């Protein structure tokens, strides 16, 4: 019979095949795992372009293994076969379908209940009758007539996280139009040969039309530049390459785990990389960190731990302890709300769910999962300089702690030192909540830091005997403003119209409208400190006065006409001025 073939091995009874004139395709003894079955189909069956295929239900000497049925499932589910995967399949066995389904726990026999497939007894008459009457699997009914009628169980040796590392990267690549990137990833391609992966792939393809209906914008490219670190023990299954394709303008570095690398060695490597610095600041603008960095955490009781018990969460804690401003998004196969909440409470700035197959029927989940990730990364890049704010905070706190231990007279008393510590904490807590949709937190933060400006202006300037004197480092008092008998100042305002743009060091007699000298505002006091005590330049004071203008118009006395806003760079400028000021205490 032309282009009708039978798969056989050395134990197959070919009597009826020979009588019917059916050609044979010889199976070797090694074709008993998913990878070799896949390769055999591509290399030995596909080139022959059969019209119908006969397969012994069992192969080898064990007549209850039913590996022939597994080969048939591979044939139906393998992508790239085109119309060939719809050809009629005739399975030959001495066992009935009921016996097969009873004996074989994987239920491979369900393929025989689908259109285009049949199970017959090993007899000339039944095989011949099946060849005459069997029709191919309907072209436009692949899902209903086949995929929905079978069930491929998840392999027991594969945990949820392991499967998500293959399935999740496929979904991410598909949703972002980067499937081509995966064609060179050896570990990913080998995993694609698994029967279970092919099964869930077939299920997912059914939802592509749904995806096209809801995909209303171009996604898959995030254009921020910066340094991104991705830490994942299974990064080499395609995650690293996909992330590099998505973050097209960024420097993306990958910390994966070698095939024979010990876990402790890998964790040390990941920690050292995560804590890298450049010019004393954390190197990374964004760290993408997998929750489970050890395959053993996907097995048994460990698979049900609380989030903080996983290796990735422990590394997160070390990163946050080093600098609370570092932006970290966790990657996890878990979609449990309590795990997500715990990670956020630990300091994570977001999370991305590595999709498991149970989400595969809802392509909108994949899209929304990615869009959520995209928004989170955008927010993180908006906050990437929080690490600078944290380091400035830490430096100021170090000065305050040093003063706490000094025995001599302190320039700032204990009450005010405690207030400053509180304002530093409140300011940083506020700016951590800042995002493009929550810009008001930059205002809250700015106000807290400005309170420290006011404390310094009051603590370091003595108002006594009609004079304002700046307290120097060694109890030397610096003349600032004489109020009587002649109003005289050591600093002169630089104006644009009536607006003060800066101050300069100069003996200056204030005029009648310079009331800010007779009752100095916080900005006048601090400008004097900057020039006469802390060593700032006129340009530095001009920057401070710009910040003071923002404080007056946006924070302290906002109006409906206000168009400016407080940016993270404004926060950094203000805290940098504070840090330099404390350096000179």
- The answer to whether 333 and 369 have CB atoms below 8 angstroms apart is no
Compute the distance between CA of residue 166 and CA of residue 162 in angstroms, rounded to an integer: 7
Task: Give the pLDDT band of residue 353 (cuts 50, 70, 90).
Answer: very high
Residue 154 located in a structural domain: no
In terms of domains, do 69 and 55 share one? yes
In terms of domains, do 71 and 87 share one? yes
Q: How confident is the model at residue 106, as a pLDDT?
A: 81
Q: Please calculate the CA angle 70-76-81 and round it to the nearest 5 degrees.
A: 125
Q: Please calculate the CA angle 237-242-248 and round it to the nearest 5 degrees.
A: 150
Q: Is the pLDDT of residue 16 over 60?
A: yes
Rounded alpha-carbon distances, angstroms, from residue 501 to 423, 481, 523? 27, 20, 11
155 or 464, which is more confident: 464
pTM, full prediction? 0.83
Residue 155 located in a structural domain: no
Q: How confident is the model at residue 556, as a pLDDT?
A: 59
Element (H, E) at 118: strand 117-120
Among left, alpha and beta (phi > 0; psi -120 to 50; other), residue 265 is alpha
Q: How confident is the model at residue 366, as a pLDDT?
A: 85
Q: How confident is the model at residue 245, as a pLDDT?
A: 93
Residue at which a domain ends, from 384, 399, 415 = 384
Sheet holding 286-290, edge to edge: 251-255, 227-231, 286-290, 328-332, 350-353
- The answer to whether 352 and 331 have CB atoms below 8 angstroms apart is yes
Task: Give the pLDDT band of residue 498 (cuts 50, 70, 90).
Answer: confident
Q: How confident is the model at residue 269, as a pLDDT?
A: 97
Q: Is the pLDDT of residue 452 over 60?
A: yes
User: Which tens digit of pLDDT belongs to each residue from 482-493?
Assistant: 988 889 999 999
DSSP helix/strand/coil, 255: strand
Q: Is the pLDDT of residue 330 over 80?
A: yes
What DSSP designation does 499 have? E
- The answer to whether 37 and 71 have CB atoms below 8 angstroms apart is yes
Task: Give the pLDDT band of residue 407 (cuts 50, 70, 90).
Answer: low
Q: How confident is the model at residue 270, as a pLDDT?
A: 97
Token pair 């990878």 is found at 35
Mean pLDDT throughout 447-465? 94
Burial annotation 362-383 (CB, 10 A radius, 16+ → b, else e)? ebebbbebbeebbebbebbbbb
Residue 77 located in a structural domain: yes
Q: How confident is the model at residue 213, as a pLDDT?
A: 45
Per-residue tokens: 188:
């990913």
* Enclosing domain of residue 115: 4-149
What DSSP designation does 93 have? -
Compute the distance between CA of residue 544 and CA of residue 315 in angstroms, rounded to an integer: 39
Task: Give the pLDDT band of residue 207 (cuts 50, 70, 90).
Answer: very low
Residue at which a domain ends, from 118, 149, 180 = 149
**Greatest alpha-carbon span in the chain:** 128
Mean pLDDT throughout 209-217? 45
What average pLDDT is seen over the chain? 88
- The answer to whether 506 and 492 have CB atoms below 8 angstroms apart is yes
Token pair 């719809």 is found at 86
In terms of domains, do 414 and 293 share one? no
Residue at which a domain ends, from 98, 117, 149 = 149
User: Which tens digit of pLDDT belongs to each residue from 37-69?
Assistant: 999 999 999 999 999 999 999 888 777 788 899
Residue 348 located in a structural domain: yes
Helix, strand, coil shares of the chain as percentages rounded to 5? 50, 15, 35
In terms of domains, do 559 and 416 share one? yes
Report how many domains make up the chain. Answer: 3
Compute the distance between CA of residue 406 and CA of residue 504 in angstroms, rounded to an integer: 34
In terms of domains, do 408 and 366 share one? no
How many angstroms separate the first and last alpha carbons of the chain? 98
In terms of domains, do 165 and 278 share one? yes
Q: Read off the CATH number of the domain in which 30 is found.
A: 3.40.50.2300
Q: Is the pLDDT of residue 515 over 90?
A: no
Q: How confident is the model at residue 203, as a pLDDT?
A: 78
From the number of C-beta atoms within 10 Å of its C-beta (0-12, 13-18, 19+), residue 347 rates as: middle
Q: Is the pLDDT of residue 221 over 60?
A: yes
559 or 562, which is more confident: 559
In terms of domains, do 309 and 289 share one? yes
Rounded alpha-carbon distances, angstroms, from residue 221 to 224, 419, 436, 579? 9, 45, 19, 38
Dihedral angle over CA of 417, 418, 419, 424, nearest 10: 90
Task: Give the pLDDT band of residue 140 (cuts 50, 70, 90).
Answer: confident
Mean pLDDT throughout 513-534? 92
Task: Give the pLDDT band of residue 522 (cuts 50, 70, 90).
Answer: very high
Per-residue tokens: 321:
């302890």
Q: Is the pLDDT of residue 557 over 70?
A: no
180 or 229, which is more confident: 229
Lowest mean pLDDT among 28-32, 417-421, 509-513: 28-32
In terms of domains, do 365 and 409 share one? no
Reported as half-sphere exposure (CB side, CA atoms, 13 A), residue 122 has a value of 15
Lowest mean pLDDT among 241-255, 349-363, 425-439: 349-363
In terms of domains, do 85 and 9 share one? yes
160 or 237, which is more confident: 237
Q: How confident is the model at residue 153, as a pLDDT?
A: 82
Residue 329 located in a structural domain: yes
Task: Give the pLDDT band of residue 340 (cuts 50, 70, 90).
Answer: confident
Q: How confident is the model at residue 242, as a pLDDT?
A: 94
In terms of domains, do 272 and 414 share one? no
Strands (E), 313-419: 328-332, 350-353
């Amino acid at each position: 019979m032309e282009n009708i073939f039978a798969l056989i091995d050395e134990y197959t009874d070919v009597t009826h095949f020979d009588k019917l004139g059916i050609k044979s395709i010889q199976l070797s003894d090694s074709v008993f795992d998913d990878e070799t079955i896949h390769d055999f189909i591509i290399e030995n069956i596909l080139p022959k372009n059969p019209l119908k295929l006969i397969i012994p239900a069992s192969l080898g000497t064990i007549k209850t293994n039913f590996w022939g049925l597994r080969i048939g499932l591979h044939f139906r589910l393998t992508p790239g076969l085109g119309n060939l995967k719809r050809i009629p399949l005739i399975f030959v066995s001495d066992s009935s379908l009921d016996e097969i389904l009873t004996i074989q726990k994987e239920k491979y026999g369900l393929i025989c209940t689908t259109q285009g497939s049949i199970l017959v007894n090993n007899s000339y008459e039944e095989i011949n009758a099946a060849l005459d009457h069997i029709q191919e699997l309907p072209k436009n009914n692949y899902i209903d007539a086949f995929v929905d009628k079978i069930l491929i169980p998840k392999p027991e040796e594969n945990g949820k996280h392991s499967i998500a590392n293959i399935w999740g990267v496929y979904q991410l690549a598909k949703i972002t139009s980067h499937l081509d990137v995966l064609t060179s990833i050896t570990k990913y391609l080998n995993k694609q040969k698994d029967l279970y992966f092919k099964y869930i792939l077939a299920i997912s393809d059914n939802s592509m039309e749904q995806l096209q209906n809801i995909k209303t914008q171009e996604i898959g490219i995030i254009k921020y530049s910066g340094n991104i670190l991705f830490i994942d023990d299974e990064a080499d299954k395609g995650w690293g390459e996909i992330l590099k394709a998505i973050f097209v303008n960024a420097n993306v570095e990958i910390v994966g785990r070698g095939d024979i690398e010990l876990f402790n060695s890998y964790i040390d490597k990941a920690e050292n990389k995560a804590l890298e610095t450049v010019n004393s600041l954390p190197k990374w603008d964004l760290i993408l960190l997998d929750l489970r960095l050890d395959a053993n955490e996907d097995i048994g009781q460990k698979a049900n731990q609380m989030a903080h018990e996983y290796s990735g969460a422990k590394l997160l804690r070390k990163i946050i302890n080093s600098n609370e401003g570092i932006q970290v998004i966790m990657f996890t196969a878990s979609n449990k709300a309590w795990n997500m909440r715990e990670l956020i409470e630990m300091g994570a700035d977001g999370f991305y769910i590595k999709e498991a197959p149970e989400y595969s029927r809802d392509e909108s989940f994949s899209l929304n999962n990615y869009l959520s990730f995209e928004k989170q990364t955008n927010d993180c890049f908006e906050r990437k300089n929080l690490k600078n704010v944290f380091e400035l905070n830490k430096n100021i706190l170090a000065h305050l702690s040093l003063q706490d231990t000094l025995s001599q007279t302190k320039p700032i008393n204990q009450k005010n030192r405690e207030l400053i510590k509180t304002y530093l904490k409140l300011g940083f807590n506020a700016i951590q909540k800042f995002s493009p949709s929550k810009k008001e937190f930059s205002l809250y933060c700015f106000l807290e830091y400005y309170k420290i400006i006011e404390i310094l202006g009051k603590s370091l300037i003595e108002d006594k005997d009609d004079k304002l004197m700046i307290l120097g480092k060694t109890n030397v008092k610096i003349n600032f403003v004489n109020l009587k008998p002649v109003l005289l100042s050591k600093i002169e305002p630089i104006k644009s119209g009536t607006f003060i743009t800066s101050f300069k060091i100069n003996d200056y007699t204030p005029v009648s409208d310079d009331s800010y000298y007779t009752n100095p505002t916080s900005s006048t006091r601090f400008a004097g400190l900057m020039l006469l005590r802390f060593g700032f330049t006129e340009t530095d004071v001009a920057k401070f006065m710009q910040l003071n203008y923002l404080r007056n118009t946006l924070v302290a006395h906002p109006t409906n006409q206000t168009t400016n806003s407080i940016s993270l760079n404004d926060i950094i400028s203000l805290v940098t001025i504070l840090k330099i000021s404390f350096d000179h205490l």
